[in-house]
Structure 1
Amino acid sequence: MRIRTVHKRKYALICLCILGFIMYHRYLRGPTGGRRISRKVGLSTNASQFTLEGEPFHIIGGSIHYFRVPRAYWRDRLLKMKACGINTLTTYVPWSLHQPERGAFNFHTQLDIEAYISLAAELGLWVILRPGPYISSELDLGGLPSWLLRDGSMRLRTTYPGFTQAVETFFDKIIPKVVPLQFKKGGPIVAVQVENEDGSVAKDESYMLFIKEALQSRGISELLLTSDNHNALKSGGVGGAIKSVKLQRLNQKHIQDLNAIQPNSPAMVMDYFTGWYDVWGDLHHVLPPEDMVSAVREILRRGMSVNLYMFHGGSTFGFMSGALADPSYKALVPSYDYDAPLSEAGEYTPKYHLLRDLLQRYNRGETFPDMPALHYREDYEPAIMYQHLSLWDALSFTEGPFKSPRPVNMESLPVNNGNGQSYGYTLYETTITSGGFLRSGDNVRDRALVFVDRSYIGLFKRQRVELVVPDGKDQRTLSLLVENCGRVHQGMDLDNQHKGLVGDILLNNIPLRDFTIYSLDMKPSFIDSLYKAPWKTLPDTPSFPGFFMGRMFAYGYPSDTFVKLPQGWEKGVVFINGLNLGRYWSIGPQQALYLPSPFLNSGINQVIVFEEQEGDYKIHFEDTPDLGMAADIQ
């Protein structure tokens, strides 16, 4: 009897050892979250395919940016990605958000990149990191911080010392945070992209080598990638990094060109665009679901790897949206819905379901995780605006004012610890003694409301360069409220993206002088300070520009909703509990701002609207988005 018991114990011990070996092997193979295990062979390439630890590996990626999704929703969005059959998460790293001032860094809460990557590992996703420093991503200045432009000789995306020194300071902070999260150290990062789309500008042949060495010298040891549009593949790239291509439509010639340029490496579409972004005054861009899925099916059939840009776009909250310069200036809307498989609010779309079905067939019927339940959305009672504060009464809460004999651009203002003003509005005031013709040339960036003794007389924008100033007696105050609508996010002209007044304004061909300048960047600290301002009960005829205050009630646990300003509001910004949701503009296409439940309190929520020209007395909260009239991407 005792002998049998001993044998049973030995058998049980052997079984435990085998099970332990299996679990340990799986532990080594998959993303490990916070655990650190040394692996010898990471993501590699041979003539036809990627391999991971020496075994064939097919990248089926999707982009979700941590800075465009409320942190409370990171897990939800990544679980939905996992349930669709995606195996690799890709994300950009926005330098401008992580280093808003030269000596100030932010890696907390919404910007905790280590927590985001570790969460991806916990959920079983590999990661391709895209740390820039330039990322485009339809962000203001392509994700580069605006304080770089204080250097009058700055040459962005080159080996100009003023730029490289700033890059190295940023990399000294960000790269040590992600080095321990690399695959060979037990983390989920299997590849790192070197810069982004450099082939489209290629201003400095030494630049990409500098970025590559800056990454590697700080401990990046995984596979390196570059990514360019098809027409820039030859001029892009850097030795020792795999080239990949960005595509909107699948084109046989584009794939052939990539294979010809790089014949002994696997082909990868680093960005297959699932939709597109939107600009003010245009239509909402969509790509038919069938077009997207047929392109992905063909990419997979060819044995290529792919990353879906975007899998879930989210929102570009605040003033962070970029702009286009060609053929004319157009600013982007706050929504980054992108017509992606997951909507801006994390809803499943027809693209998601078709893609999930395709990937299940591609994986030979492999069982995917269950699709997470959707969040409830609610149409709350409207917020009635009950208090008003004129712009002029709010000026005492700004940083400044500052005196200058000539106009000073936004970036060169002596604010924010010597880093200048990045976003928002700047008010320029001077004294005039006559009427006549006011000419702006091309010196208003990007839009200016013009006032005489605080009475509105007209608008300057890039297409309009002349206004008539009415005659008047004695001295009068001329005011220009200039808005940065968004810096261009791509192209050759990034060095010239100064905002505010960038040169002289002429009255009867004589340059205006002796300005008083107010910085209205509308940061959370400024909005919070307004609660101490002399608000007044909303009059029948409020003055503009002005701030309007109301309350929104969310009983119980708050739900997602969409802020919609009905007809009667023209153009401005919405703040909920001090957070900048983004701009609204009656010209569309976007007609409602996404308001995620984590931004709301249970009970009373403070609503402040800054309106430039024309306001109503309430704003609505609806349970459905409104991105405007749709048009297929051309």
Structure 2
Amino acid sequence: MGVLRTRSKQKRIHAFICLCIVSIIFYKYLGFFQSSARMGLKKTRKMGLNTNSSQFTLEGKPFCILGGSIHYFRVPMPYWRDRLTKMMACGINTLTIYVPWSLHQPQKDVFNFHTQLDLEAYISLAAELGLWVILCPGPYISADMDLGGLPSWLLRDDSMRLRTTHPGFIQAVNTYFDKLIPKVFPFQFSKGGPIIAVQIENEYGSFAKDKKYMSVIKEALQSRGISEILLTSDNSNSFKSGGVDGALRAVKLRKLNQKIIQELNSVKPNKPSLVMEYWTGWYDTWGDLHHVLPPEDMVSTVRNILRRGMSVNLYMFHGGSSFGFMSGAVSDPSYKALVSSYDYDAPLSEAGRYTPKYYLLRDLFSQFNPKGRSLPDIPSFRNSDSYETAFMYYYLSLWDALSFAEGPFMSAEPVNMENLPANNGNGQSYGYTLYETIITSGGMLQSGDNVRDRALVFVDRKYIGLLKRQILELAVPDGKDKRTLSFLVENCGRVHQGKDLDKQRKGLVGDILLNNIPLRGFTTYSLEMKLDFIESLNQAPWINLPEHPSFPGFFMGRVFVYSYPTDTFVKMLGWGKGVVFVNSLNLGRYWSLGPQQSLYLPGPFLHSGVNQVIVFEEKEGDYNVQFEDSPDLGMEADIN
């Protein structure tokens, strides 16, 4: 009897263990399927985007790519759903995603794929909403970013040759792809995800320094499991020199003409044609006008593209903002830095407002919608608000803020930004750098074009003048005693395109001469103005705003929000040049030079009640900041 009880007990224990194992397996797979459902993923599929005829097919059916670009890193994360929903309501079926290496790997051993940079969450949202995805992982993406989205710490290597098979560059790319590709791998169409194509690099035809490079990048993607259609994308004037075997060649343009069509057909006969970037507008540079493209011109070209049976991606569908210091620059014919706004005169404005372009495109794209399926309703739009003026009550001189900066660093000769021992030995990426040395006489300063890009010059912390690319000499007042000579140098933005990317080091990049003698013995401070630095200024010795404050300096005020915060626009009337921080977040640069006269302040950056406003101003200030319900991007100029 006892034996029977023992056996019965053993059976019950065995059954219980089996039940536990089955339950664990069940809940494990239930969790997997729930996770897949949240991401909008389906079961594994085989018939992805196909290019075996003159027209794309997807899942074995004819497919026209109606694409649009929205940079997740230029749109506050709480607004991702809003922007993508508005995109779908316009008739877009494909989201093009550019991935900025510089933001995801800010330091050699530091990676960031969280919150605002949660790429997986962005792709999951696209899948949930029913958008296909074309992924552009780089390593170079341009996107009108500082150094085209390449991290500045690459330039610490004096022998570095960016976008080539230079061992140092390829090693860095491999390390980055080892982190990036596993994150996007499960989102491929063949795995049940939304990614139907992957772009290899970007615009290499206009660079083309290394014939082996594109093949190496292609192999780097495929060896890590990228199995969807690969494509390259080049401007129409460099289209023939930018491709690689095994990848579809796409083109970038503003106007479609017969010559471009003939080139497309000659390079890839019997293959579908894709305009990977149709430019709906353009970026702006400081000192220029605000570029606009008439809506009728835009929709006319898009209509022409589609009538010829071509697919198209709108760059940009929604531009957003280059918060902080991420804006790039151009050097041809001369150096000009990009403004902080990335409105781009796109169909959705910087703040996500509908424009005439949006409605024209919606009417056009509705004609290409599958029969029997209507476009989603246009989502409602919440208006922007104006708030009470923020008066600056407190003041902190630049010199009193230095104890909160990174440094001081001592060196015999000036050290460029990238080679400073800042950021755990990764150098300084953005912002300002202060160089100080001792002089015992006056005379003539000669920069020899070694100031990148602007330097405010001080003697004993009193402003004496400016050195920049067009001003290479400056007189220093006479004096026999020891005096401190200071250079506050700003990186206004590294060039984002062209063949001179290797030369984009910032700060003082060579000797500065005084009376033809090189200056020596430098004390250097890194003023990158990152979040932790601005927050640390709460412990600084602020004083009540004096009647005649000295410059440069920090100015602090408050803006009150009495209800649920909504978008607004910061107007810096009466100020000269500097940076605005709200609740320690860097909104970007302002400059009376224009064209941009307002900074976009998204509602999620504010909270009900008191919000802190800090302004860093270089030369002059009106001591109040206005918040209005509409943007001012400057006087307009037709791109055409």
1:172-251 pair list within 5 angstroms: 172-251=178-257
Counterpart Cα distance in 1 of 2:238 and 2:615: 43
Contact 1:299 1:306 in 2 (8 A): yes
- CA displacement at 1:231 relative to structure 2: 1.4
Which residue is equivalent to 2:466? Answer: 459
Contact 2:558 2:610 in 1 (8 A): yes
Which residue is equivalent to 1:313? Answer: 319
- CA displacement at 1:36 relative to structure 2: 4.3
1:485-514 deviations in Å (ceiling 9; x for gaps): 000000000001000000000000000000
| Residue 506 of structure 1 pairs with residue 504 of structure 2 | no
Contact 1:227 1:244 in 2 (8 A): yes
Counterpart Cα distance in 2 of 1:353 and 1:393: 52
- CA displacement at 1:361 relative to structure 2: 2.5
Distance 1:31 1:281, change over 3 A: farther
1:177-223 deviations in Å (ceiling 9; x for gaps): 00000111111000000000001111111100111110011111100
| Residue 382 of structure 1 pairs with residue 389 of structure 2 | yes
| Residue 424 of structure 1 pairs with residue 443 of structure 2 | no
1:545-624 pair list within 5 angstroms: 545-567=552-574, 569-624=575-630
Greater alpha carbon shift after TM alignment, 250-259 vs 269-278? 250-259
| Residue 41 of structure 1 pairs with residue 75 of structure 2 | no
Contact 2:596 2:632 in 1 (8 A): yes
Match of 1:283 among 280, 289, 298: 289
Counterpart Cα distance in 1 of 2:106 and 2:274: 34
Counterpart Cα distance in 2 of 1:357 and 1:139: 32
Contact 1:33 1:188 in 2 (8 A): no
1:365-389 deviations in Å (ceiling 9; x for gaps): 8411111111221000010100000
- CA displacement at 1:473 relative to structure 2: 3.0
Which residue is equivalent to 1:16? Answer: none
- Give the TM-score taking structure 1 as reference length: 0.94
- CA displacement at 1:53 relative to structure 2: 1.6
| Residue 324 of structure 1 pairs with residue 330 of structure 2 | yes
Counterpart Cα distance in 2 of 1:493 and 1:317: 25
- CA displacement at 1:523 relative to structure 2: 0.5
Which residue is equivalent to 1:368? Answer: 375
Which residue is equivalent to 1:157? Answer: 163
Match of 1:359 among 354, 365, 370: 365
Counterpart Cα distance in 2 of 1:262 and 1:627: 41
- CA displacement at 1:598 relative to structure 2: 0.5
- CA displacement at 1:362 relative to structure 2: 3.1
2:378 is matched by which residue type in structure 1?
M
| Residue 340 of structure 1 pairs with residue 346 of structure 2 | yes
Counterpart Cα distance in 2 of 1:98 and 1:227: 23
Q: Secondary structure at the residue paired with 2:215?
A: helix
| Aligned-CA RMSD value | 1.2
1:180 is matched by which residue type in structure 2?
P
Counterpart Cα distance in 1 of 2:37 and 2:83: 18
1:64-213 pair list within 5 angstroms: 64-213=70-219
Contact 1:194 1:208 in 2 (8 A): yes
Counterpart Cα distance in 1 of 2:217 and 2:603: 39
Counterpart Cα distance in 1 of 2:298 and 2:623: 43
Contact 1:234 1:261 in 2 (8 A): yes
- CA displacement at 1:34 relative to structure 2: 4.2
- Give the TM-score taking structure 2 as reference length: 0.93
Which residue is equivalent to 2:15? Answer: none
- CA displacement at 1:35 relative to structure 2: 3.2
Contact 1:47 1:263 in 2 (8 A): no
- CA displacement at 1:31 relative to structure 2: 10
Q: Secondary structure at the residue paired with 2:421?
A: coil
Contact 1:562 1:595 in 2 (8 A): yes
Unaligned residue ranges in structure 2 (runs of 5+): 1-32
Counterpart Cα distance in 2 of 1:225 and 1:471: 62
Identity between Structure 1 and Structure 2 (%): 76
Which residue is equivalent to 2:411? Answer: 404
Which residue is equivalent to 2:538? Answer: 531
1:235-276 deviations in Å (ceiling 9; x for gaps): 111111000000011222112111111112111100000000
Counterpart Cα distance in 1 of 2:532 and 2:42: 40
Match of 1:270 among 276, 288, 301: 276
Aligned residues: 605
2:470 is matched by which residue type in structure 1?
Q
Counterpart Cα distance in 2 of 1:81 and 1:50: 22
Counterpart Cα distance in 1 of 2:222 and 2:609: 50
Which residue is equivalent to 2:308? Answer: 302
Contact 1:446 1:462 in 2 (8 A): yes
Q: Secondary structure at the residue paired with 1:177?
A: helix
- CA displacement at 1:602 relative to structure 2: 1.0
Q: Secondary structure at the residue paired with 1:215?
A: helix
Counterpart Cα distance in 2 of 1:389 and 1:77: 39
1:566 is matched by which residue type in structure 2?
L
Match of 2:422 among 415, 426, 451: 415
Greater alpha carbon shift after TM alignment, 159-168 vs 251-260? 251-260
Unaligned residue ranges in structure 1 (runs of 5+): 1-26
Counterpart Cα distance in 1 of 2:195 and 2:576: 45
1:35-83 deviations in Å (ceiling 9; x for gaps): 3411012111123111112111110000001000000000000000000
